[in-house]
Structure 1
Amino acid sequence: MSEPSGTTLTVEFTAEQIEAIDQWIDRSQEPKPSREEAVRQLVAGRLGAHGPNTMMPNFTTGRDIV
């Protein structure tokens, strides 16, 4: 039996949040992640799945939080 692939969530973002995500993607190394993958990486980083120096965009200002 294969493991479930995950749960689909529908999330609404403001234009400013989308811009912050797109800026984070622009700074990412090739291959650039899709918006969906970027959100997964940002959530994983915020939850501690990455090192403490992971750059996180501040959705209010669009600036990075380290």
Structure 2
Amino acid sequence: MSDSADLTLTITFTPELLAAIDDWIARHDEPLPSREDAVCQLVSGRLGADGPSTILPQFTTGRDIV
């Protein structure tokens, strides 16, 4: 993308993945992140922006997500 505007995506999660995201959220201190913020943090972490994440261990690089 050439423009820096945020992009809104609609995605579908399996019940198991949604439960894993909710578990990840529950391990944080108050105020808890929203699901939207949690997904953004997890994706950023997998892409290397905030260090590695363990929530999606089957992905080895950010390239594997897309």
TM-score for the superposition, normalised by structure 1: 0.72
Q: Which residue does the alignment assign to 1:45?
A: 45
One-letter identity of the residue aligned with 2:8: T
Q: Which runs of 4+ in 1 moved over 4 A?
A: none
Q: Which runs of 5+ in 1 are unaligned?
A: 61-66
Q: Deviations over 1:6-52 (max 9, x none)?
A: 00001100000000000000001221100000000000000001134
Q: Which runs of 5+ in 2 are unaligned?
A: 59-66
Structure number with higher strand proportion: 1
**CA RMSD between the two structures:** 2.0
TM-score for the superposition, normalised by structure 2: 0.72
Secondary structure at 1:20 match in 2: helix
**Distance change >3 Å, CA 48–CA 59, structure 1 → 2:** closer
Secondary structure at 1:41 match in 2: helix
- Which of the pair has the greater relative contact order for Cα pairs under 8 Å at 6+ separation? 1
Identity across matched positions, percent:
55
Q: May I ask how many residue pairs the two structures share in their alignment?
A: 55
Q: Is the 8 A contact 1:20 1:58 kept in 2?
A: no
